[in-house]
Amino acid sequence: MTKSLNGVGMDQDSPGKLKQEANWIRLSAMTMTHNAQLGHTGGDLSSADILAVLYFGGVLRVDPSQPNWPQRDRFVLSKGHCSGAFYSALAARGFFPPAQLKTHMEPLSMLNGHPDRNKLPGVEANTGPLGHGLPIAVGAALAARMRKESWRVFVLTGDGELQEGSNWEAAMTAQHYGLDNLTVIVDRNRIQQGDFTENTIRMEPLAARWSAFGFAVDEVDGHDSAGLLDRFSHLPIQPGKPSCIIANTVKGKGFSLAENQPAWHHGVPDDEQLAAAAVELGVEVGW
Amino acid sequence: MSATEVLQSGAGCTSQQLFDCRDAYIRVLEEMAADDPRVCAVANDSVSSAKLKGFRAKFPDRFVNVGIAEQNMVGVGAGLANGGMIPYVCAAACFLTARAMEQVKVDLAYSKSNVKLCGMSPGMAYGQLGSTHHSIEDLAWTRVLPDLAVVVPADPLETAAAMRYSRLHEGPMYLRISRMPVPRVHGDGYEFKLGKAVLLRQGSDVTLMATGVLVSRALQAAFALAARGISARVLNVSTIKPLDEEAILDAARATRGIVTAEEAFARGGLGGAVAELLVQKHPVPMRILGVPDSFPPTGSAEFLMEHLGLSAAGIENAALDLLKDKR
């Protein structure tokens, strides 16, 4: 599944291909979690379509052959616990060999439970504690502006994660500086570790909140590859404003046993469940 | 000269005049910004306290004020560094470290981000404002973090030199910039070397190791001790991390004991770092001067320093007490 590149950017895969790539990310992440007996299946599965469109839809201008290329778009995974899906996307995109996914969380592995930019190419920020990604993304967007460069910054947050106040500090900075080179994508799967978000601390009206904080906001189906691709291909939503895309997702998407089940936030599939997931997703891991 | 007269004379320092180290910090920051387009500043509304008004006027496109939002401020610094800038994140040390400690740990130290933290007015500089505004925990918190350099300049010359060094240092640094008036203790042409303590005075009976605003007080204490016939070595340990183990072990071997002095809690700071080293490699009698294990009472910075024995007389007395120790 490794893609060849001509310089920067890449061919844009069709929505059907993107769905297949997302399902590969799903099964790869579940396999990693199964192997390590640790991981965050629910969020890996809800974010897979978003990651596939970013990395295979021609959205992110990145070059795996020169991961620190100064003009690259920055992608920050703020929900760092979904490293299974993220690492799978990076490997599939060619940042490191997919076989390295076998080492996930093994002793001395480069694939820590949460991403470490000093260990793995393609990782922009060390995340894990929630509410860190957006401030970092805001700083990077400010850097692009100071340097008068055209690269953009994307950050993927969870929804429960937005209970961390640092996000809203950063949102205020983004709107004050009119950072239209910044796009926040919210993986709105409506479940956090302990319960549904709305039973924990209500997040609604989420779009209105982002809008009130000065973002241009759009809501999309986070599993509609064509819709995501169309939305990500037309940014900023409004010139002069940072963009917020609320991607409505299903936690555990693609593995029906796990869908919309809080217990699968960090559920670990057993042998039978992993085999069932492979059938349901219709892909082979191959690493 | 009597010991008392020596203490009052500013002996051992290279100036009688007293300086606010923030003036040296901002002068060099503006010089570096003029020379290097990567240098930028991040503030948390701290435009006055971090003396950034001139920077804002001269480099408006490289000045970011995130408002009163310290977690965001440090994260923004990490992002600026990711984008190839060299951000100086400048804010009152008490808020910069305490409020944003997880960001300092994860976004800077663990990530090895090329961000320079300038902790303004640390220690008890905000005196009467109380313990909310004191930053006497910061040395303990910062020095346990791998890959974060921790530097406490003693005078304006060292402040300027450490600032210049920081631009060339690849990685995160915490610079503690005092507003408490201090004399010069270094000569013109002083060069800062990260991880190197500065031998300010040779001595054979006892070693006084100080950092920041305590360095001039340690020098005065050494002169007072000399008047009593006691030879005191003085080391300016301006780099708390990485610690100059060689200079500290040399002093432990060459003198009968060590007095450390810092404007911070006596637990976990310079004294703790020196003790951790010596207890494993060359145990000697020590006295650790700092703020004892209780929040200080109300009072001006000057009052609190005297009240807590963080003075030349306090250091002198600690040295005399140590030398009575027959162990």
Q: Tell me which residue of A203, A281, A207, A232 sits closest to A45, measured CA to CA.
A: A281
- A182-186, B13-17, B289-293: which range is least confident on average? B13-17
The pLDDT, as a whole number, for residue B2 is 54
Residue at which a domain ends, from B149, B177, B205: B177
Distance separating alpha carbons of residues B215 and B178, to the nearest angstrom = 12
Whether residues B163 and B220 fall in one domain: no
User: Measured between beta carbons, which residues in chain A are less than 8 angstroms from residue B146?
Assistant: none
**A86-126 per-position pLDDT tens digit:** 999 999 999 999 999 999 999 999 999 999 999 999 999 99
From residue B137, alpha-carbon distances to A213, B128, B270, B292 in Å are 35, 17, 11, 12
From residue A117, alpha-carbon distances to A3, A67, A111, B147 in Å are 22, 11, 10, 15
* pLDDT band at residue B4 under the 50/70/90 scheme: low
Examine the pLDDT at A3 and tell me if it is beyond 80: no
Residue at which a domain ends, from B114, B145, B177: B177
* pLDDT band at residue A205 under the 50/70/90 scheme: very high
Interface test with A, best of B59, B72, B101 (most A CBs within 10 A): B72
**A43-102 per-position pLDDT tens digit:** 999 999 999 999 999 999 999 999 999 999 999 999 999 999 999 999 999 999 999 999
Contact A12, A118 (CB under 8 A): no
Query: Could you tell me if A148 lies within 8 Å of chain B, comparing CB atoms?
Result: no
Whether residues B34 and B169 fall in one domain: yes
**A137-185 per-position pLDDT tens digit:** 999 999 999 999 999 999 999 999 999 999 999 999 999 999 999 999 9
Domain residue limits, chain A: 17-281
Across the range B298-324, mean pLDDT stands at 97
Whether residues B160 and B220 fall in one domain: no
* pLDDT band at residue A6 under the 50/70/90 scheme: very low
Structure tokens at B116: 């320079």
Answer yes or no: is B12 within a domain.
yes
Whether residues B11 and B32 fall in one domain: no
The pLDDT, as a whole number, for residue B15 is 81
The pLDDT, as a whole number, for residue A138 is 98
Whether residues B12 and B25 fall in one domain: no
Whether residues B166 and B32 fall in one domain: yes
User: Measured between beta carbons, which residues in chain A are less than 8 angstroms from residue B75?
Assistant: 132, 134-136, 138-139, 166, 170
Examine the pLDDT at B214 and tell me if it is beyond 80: yes
Answer yes or no: is B183 within a domain.
no
Examine the pLDDT at A2 and tell me if it is beyond 60: no
Query: Could you tell me if A244 lies within 8 Å of chain B, comparing CB atoms?
Result: no
User: Measured between beta carbons, which residues in chain B are less than 8 angstroms from residue A124?
Assistant: 82
DSSP symbol at A258: T
The pLDDT, as a whole number, for residue A9 is 52
Examine the pLDDT at A1 and tell me if it is beyond 50: no
Boundaries of domain holding B63: 21-177
Whether residues B49 and B146 fall in one domain: yes
What is the CATH number for B60? 3.40.50.970
- At B216 the three-state DSSP class reads helix
DSSP symbol at A16: H
Tell the CATH superfamily of the A17-281 domain. Thiamin diphosphate (ThDP)-binding fold, Pyr/PP domains (3.40.50.970)
* pLDDT band at residue B6 under the 50/70/90 scheme: low
Across the range B237-261, mean pLDDT stands at 98
Across the range A17-35, mean pLDDT stands at 97
Whether residues B148 and B281 fall in one domain: no
Instruction: With CB atoms and an 8 Å threshold, state whether A140 touches B83.
Output: yes
Instruction: With CB atoms and an 8 Å threshold, state whether B76 touches A177.
Output: no
Q: Tell me which residue of A85, A129, A106 sits closest to A281, measured CA to CA.
A: A85
The pLDDT, as a whole number, for residue B325 is 77
Size of interface A-B (CB pairs under 8 A): 115
Give the number of other Cβ atoms within 10 Å of residue A273's Cβ.
17
**B70-111 per-position pLDDT tens digit:** 999 999 999 999 999 999 999 999 999 999 999 999 999 999
The pLDDT, as a whole number, for residue A5 is 36
Structure tokens at B243: 């610690």
**Alpha-carbon dihedral B86, B90, B96, B100, rounded to 10 degrees:** -30
The pLDDT, as a whole number, for residue A7 is 36
Whether residues B205 and B134 fall in one domain: no
What is the CATH number for B263? 3.40.50.920
The pLDDT, as a whole number, for residue B327 is 55
Interface test with A, best of B39, B82, B116 (most A CBs within 10 A): B82
* pTM above threshold 0.90: yes
User: Percent of chain B at pLDDT above 70?
Assistant: 96
Q: What's the total number of domains in chain B?
A: 2
User: Percent of chain B at pLDDT above 90?
Assistant: 94
The phi-psi region of residue A148 (left if phi > 0; otherwise alpha if psi is between -120 and 50; otherwise beta) is left
Whether residues B194 and B88 fall in one domain: no
Whether residues B95 and B38 fall in one domain: yes
Whether residues B41 and B9 fall in one domain: no
Q: Nearest C-alpha of chain B: how many angstroms from A57?
A: 24
